[in-house]
Structure 1
Amino acid sequence: RASRDFRLHVAEESAYRALCESLRRAGGAI
């Protein structure tokens, strides 16, 4: 039960981090 929710949370966390990384790279390129 909890493991699935935890996995979903980890996936959201990594996706958010990747988004921040790409935004930072785009900001640095401009």
Structure 2
Amino acid sequence: MLVWSRSGRMLVWLMAVPVFLVIYGLPIGVI
């Protein structure tokens, strides 16, 4: 499970980063 958690965290970051960019990017783009 430790190995999966490590790779899992990387996958979560890869999928979370674009989401955060969109969430924080929309208000900036609107303003």
For the aligned pair, the TM-score class normalised by the smaller chain equals 0.5 to 0.7
| 2:24 paired with 1:8 | no
Q: CA RMSD in A?
A: 1.2
Unaligned stretches of 5+ residues in structure 2 = none
- Give aligned pairs, total: 29
Matching residue within 19, 22, 28 for 1:17: 19
Q: TM-score, normalised by structure 1?
A: 0.54
Please list every run of at least 4 consecutive aligned residues from structure 1 whose deviation after the TM superposition is greater than 4 angstroms. none
Report Cα offsets for 1:1-29 as digits up to 9, x if no partner.
Answer: 33221110101211111111111111111
Question: Structure 1: which 5+ residue stretches go unaligned?
Answer: none
1:26 paired residue number: 28
